[in-house]
Amino acid sequence: MSGTIRTKDGHGRLGSVLSGLAVAVGCALFLGGFVWGVLVYRPYTVPTDSMTPTLDVNSRVLAERIDGAEVKRGDVVVFEDPLWASSPMVKRVVAVGGDTVACCDGDGRLTVNGRAVDEPYLGPGIDGRKTASGEEFSATVPEGSLFLLGDDRHTSLDSRTHLEEAGQGSVPRSAVVARVDAVVWPAKGLLDRPASFAGLPGGLSEPGPFTTLLTMITAGGILVFAGAAYGPVARLLGRRSDGGRAGAAGTGAGAGAGSGAVKRTGTGTGAGT
């Protein structure tokens, strides 16, 4: 009998330990992922439609805090340049220092150092065609600078607008404050890195830790919930189990009492006889 009680208590203690461990690990993952995200990312709201269809007006994005030296072609960046605007702007990098960028080839595509670049993220124009620009241009990007275009080439005010200025419309790398990694509202997840830039020197940038952070926060939340729910669930199941045993014991006792009454009646009859 005592051995049964110790076994039950042992299971209860083990469950409590595992429950506490799940909550502790879950809190560490959840808070760690959240703090890491705050340190790595900055939230921004896209103010205009210049980056549609990639980024809609009022989209909420997470932009990785990076140095401008890390930026590569195809990246969507947040930058601050007082010659462009008084607030942060969001554009796509299509050329870097030393590149000659021009538009358009016979198929309406952008060229970088003479190589045509397919841009699947562009939206169709009024005529239904995807063209890299409504007007022709050519520029050589100074070293340490970036040539930036919006994905909506028909409405975006970008490097093409500043071609007559020093640097032929380019922006210093030092003006970049972050690189857009994911769209959180509406939920689109990670931005794709356009493969068409992969064949150019320098290749593409690597995504930030958004997926890892999301996994940590989600797993942490699940562990905290599961660990916290263990106690109430275990008590509920325990009460049901105790109730079932008590009911079975009561039934057994009633059956035993009825059996004794029959025996006593039988005995009484025999004595009378």
Q: Give me the active site residues, please.
A: 50, 91
Is the bond preceding 186 in cis, omega lying within 30 degrees of 0?
A: yes
